[in-house]
Amino acid sequence: MSVYYIGVVLVYIEIGIAILIAIFLFKKILSSSPSSAIKFEIFCKKCGYRTGGLKCPRCEDPSKKQRWR
């Protein structure tokens, strides 16, 4: 019975470690998500041109703007 009890405890310890690792990775993903969102906003959503957070020069071009809308 004691061997079985130790085995159960080890399983619970492994589950606890796995949960801690999952929480650590989840927080790491959450902390890195804002920077990735900023990087995503740097590029134009329509054509993918790098705008650096400003308006897209390609999509905001007056001659192309009339074609887009």
The footprint of Zn ion (CB under 5 A) covers 44, 46-47, 49, 56, 58-59
Burial class from Cβ neighbours inside 10 Å (0-12, 13-18, 19+) for residue 59 reads: middle
Query: How far is the C-alpha of 12 from the C-alpha of 34, rounded, in Å?
Result: 34
User: Which is nearer to Zn ion, 27 or 65 (by Cβ)?
Assistant: 65
Query: How far is the C-alpha of 21 from the C-alpha of 10, rounded, in Å?
Result: 16
Rounded to a whole number of angstroms, the minimum distance from the CB of residue 10 to Zn ion is 56
Rounded to a whole number of angstroms, the minimum distance from the CB of residue 34 to Zn ion is 23
Rounded to a whole number of angstroms, the minimum distance from the CB of residue 21 to Zn ion is 40
